[in-house]
Amino acid sequence: MTDRYAVIGNPIHQSKSPLIHGMYAQATGQDIDYTTIEGPPGGFAGAVDAFRAAGGRGLNITAPFKLDAFAYATERSERAQLAGAANAMKFDGERVLAENFDGVGLVRDVVHNLNTPLKGKRVLLLGAGGAARGALLPFLEQQPAELVIANRSLDKALELARIGAASGAGVVRGCAYQDLAGQTFDVVFNATSASLRAELPPVPASVFAPGCLAYELAYGKGLTPFLRLAQNAGVRQLADGVGMLAEQAAEAFEWWRGVRPDTRAVIEKLTIPLV
């Protein structure tokens, strides 16, 4: 019997998840059916109930339902708890397990695919929302020399830094954007939603150290204002979130099926030149 999986979001027509998981299933010989579900506003629980009743085994979750998925679950991983959100669920009878693979997928893309170790590096994380929360613990586990979180709302940056410091995993601090003047970093991540609106977060071009990696968590947007700022500042290594997308999907696939697919073919297929 073919096992059923899906991604739920609203809107959902743009999702690459069916393509990605279809490629993973073919490469690993797994018999699955993977579809999309457009969840109605305020109707997440009902849509998931119906999918489970029809035999669904697991879900990926995208905007705007990651908080709903976290609330729906009966068991939540440490990563999901830290993020306060879930991007994957697995159903086992009455048990609903929630995970968040965004951060670990991001780290794997940077460390393994882009060959950029974070250990001992000065890392700047722009934004303190759900994406940043999901990346916090995976970043600190890589033992950077320092992780700095900058955000428009200083309180949110400080709160996230306190959470990171409480984990005891590394040196982390929060600041406002204006506090970045005179500081340079080896890796800079844009985890804000600015690029989705073709806007630039208020970060000075001076934050990019020589040999820096500038990483845009959004994908498929080409040379975003953030990446253009980095390029104009002399940064040669630019990346968007397509590798993160592929890697977090591979983590979910392994969680569901017990086998981890190779991500290279998916990344090659989905990569858009940054021009």
Domains and CATH numbers, the chain: 3-100+243-270 (3.40.50.10860), 103-240 (3.40.50.720)
Residue 129 banded pLDDT, cuts 50, 70, 90: confident
Give the residue with greater pLDDT, 252 vs 273. 252
The candidate with the shortest Cα–Cα distance to 173, out of 160, 184, 186, is 160
The answer to whether 75 is annotated as binding is no
The answer to whether 248 is annotated as binding is yes
> In the predicted model, is pLDDT for residue 156 greater than 90?
yes
Query: Which is the catalytic residue, given 66, 156, 221, 269?
Result: 66
> In the predicted model, is pLDDT for residue 168 greater than 80?
no
156 carries an active-site annotation: no
Share of the chain above pLDDT 70, in %: 100
The answer to whether 217 is annotated as binding is yes
Q: List the beta bridge partners of residue 88.
A: 60, 99
The answer to whether 86 is annotated as binding is no
Residue 87 banded pLDDT, cuts 50, 70, 90: very high
Average the pLDDT over 60-72 and give the result.
94
> In the predicted model, is pLDDT for residue 106 greater than 90?
yes
This prediction's pTM: 0.94
74, 44 contact by CB (below 8 A): no
> In the predicted model, is pLDDT for residue 36 greater than 90?
yes
What pLDDT, on the 0 to 100 scale, is given for residue 10? Answer: 95
What pLDDT, on the 0 to 100 scale, is given for residue 122? Answer: 98
What pLDDT, on the 0 to 100 scale, is given for residue 56? Answer: 98
> In the predicted model, is pLDDT for residue 169 greater than 90?
no
